[in-house]
Amino acid sequence: MVDPSVLAGTRLFSALPPDAVAEVAGHAVERHLGRNDVLFREGETAADIYVVTSGRIAIANRSPDGRESLVALMGPGDLFGEMSMFDEQGRSADARALEPSTVVVVPFGPVRRAVDARPETLWSMVALLVERLRAADEALADTVFLDVPGRTAKRLLELAGEADEFQLPITQEELAGMVGASRERVNKAISQFVRLGWLTQTDRRYTIVDRIQLTRRAR
Ligand code: CMP
């Protein structure tokens, strides 16, 4: 049994009434992960949805030669692992902890039963999938319309959020996997931003000095 409010806070479960959320939460368990622990691999048969309660989980695809493309980063309150509940095609990507993390593991069975009893709740589930599709469309458009420095600036701004000073939650290699370019080219773009006075960087600590220029470069 986990605290039902953890589930109720996610878009997928928000449409369910409190008693249904409590019923689903009664079947959920907590799982603790260390850095780099793999939760599941692409193609694996799936049985659970996950909600992050602390830490960060990387959703990634891997090329046959071992390169990694980071599809999404999941943080506290984010839900993932729902796609294979709908299509039963196995996991669409790997999930790996980037730092010590805790997730709530929710088996598909109780979720399916809750939705079967209230089909109207599928609206909020579809909204979650559409949100992912929109983000994927935008990422695809970025790879066509933006160059590597543009995509690097955009990703850094996304990772920074509102803050001007931030710590990158991922390695340079992982950032390159998110940008969709080699580490060398992403490093070169960052060095360029530092030279231009838009950014300072020490290891994983970044300070945005000129947000306006960096934002312009990300368009
Ligand atoms: P599933 O296919 O079960 O396992 C991998 C999970 O990663 C998937 O469900 C989604 O929850 C998540 N995922 C896959 N692709 C994306 C994406 N483009 N954006 C955000 N999350 C995704």
pLDDT digits (tens, 9 = 90+) for 104-122: 999 999 999 999 999 998 9
- Distance (angstroms) between ligand 1 centre and the Cα of 198 equals 33
Which pLDDT belongs to residue 106?
97
Tokens 């934002």 correspond to: 215
| Mutate which of 41, 52, 59 for ligand 1 pocket (most atoms within 8 A of beta carbon) | 59
Residue nearest to atom 11 of ligand 1 (CA): 80
pLDDT confidence band for 215 (50 / 70 / 90): very high
Which pLDDT belongs to residue 200?
94
Closest CA to 86 of 137, 126, 114, 124: 126
Task: Find the residues whose C-beta lies inside 6 A of ligand 1.
Answer: 46, 59, 71-72, 80-84, 91-93, 95, 132, 135-136
* Residues 6 or more apart in contact with residue 194 via CB below 8 angstroms: 200, 201
The per-residue pLDDT for range 40-80, each reduced to its tens digit, is 999 999 999 999 999 999 999 988 888 888 899 999 999 99
Contact 82, 95 (CB under 8 A): no
Q: Taking 90 as the threshold, does the pLDDT of residue 19 lie above it?
A: yes
Ligand 1 nearest-atom number relative to CA 94: 5
CB atoms within 10 A of CB 2: 18
Residue nearest to atom 3 of ligand 1 (CA): 81
As a residue count, the chain comes to: 219
CA dihedral 173, 178, 179, 181 (to 10 degrees): 50
Residue nearest to atom 17 of ligand 1 (CA): 132
Enter the pTM of the model. Answer: 0.89
Which pLDDT belongs to residue 91?
98
- Distance (angstroms) between ligand 1 centre and the Cα of 112 equals 18
Ligand 1 nearest-atom number relative to CA 136: 18
- Distance (angstroms) between ligand 1 centre and the Cα of 93 equals 6
